[in-house]
Chains A and B, each alone.
Chain A
Amino acid sequence: MGKKILIVEDNDDDLFIIKRYLSGAGYNEVVVARDVKEGLDKAEQEKPDLVISDTLLPDGNGFEVCQRVRQKHGAENPKIIIMTGSIDAVDAVKARKMGADDYCAKTSDCGIIMDAVKKLI
């Protein structure tokens, strides 16, 4: 695959699940950040092809991550997916406006997220 993915997630269980499904689908280059600051730093340093960010983070939210990454790196790359445990149409619109490529609900089999990943990279 060769694509690098940055995950910004602070919940251990959710992180474990998404990592497992990503590696299962062959995405082995995975970098992890646990909050907004680390997320932005790693996006800069690691230059991932895709950023998957949770909405709720200890020092902010995924929309911030998305907005700042777009500001710094442009509208095309990296691809950005915002994932959430509580799906909301208002948040979906916000995610889109901030420049996210997709907004995905977290499910126990990561089905929606994996479909989005495969479509984007």
Chain B
Amino acid sequence: MAKKILIVDDEVNITKVLASRLNASGYDSAVAYDGQEALDKVEAEKPDLIILDLMLPKIEGYRVCRLLKFDKKYQHIPIIIFTARAQPYEKTMAESVGADAYITKPFEPDILLKKIDELLYPKHEG
């Protein structure tokens, strides 16, 4: 069964293009355009991975991430945080709210796909 990825970003263009790429790479996708919708969709769709933008209306990205990571039901879902600025403190923040990975926008699609693959199919070093 195909893995489902939830895309959370308030920019419709990005979500459309990203969904298209993910679908072509064999993933199912769902979309949320603000922090509240993100939480609702996680409950409804039970995604295998979440791509989360930080600049979100209603509830901001960091808070969404923290809420999910503190919830026993959803803390196992890997979260990749998307952000517009590559400030070093943002990386620390991402780690402190429990994000599994951090990608700066504008993103390189193949790098994103690689990270998704790493998180969904972790290779165990034997």
Are A and B in direct contact (Cβ within 8 Å)?
no
Q: A residues within 8 Å of B by Cβ?
A: none
Interface set of B (CB-CB < 8 Å, partner A) = none
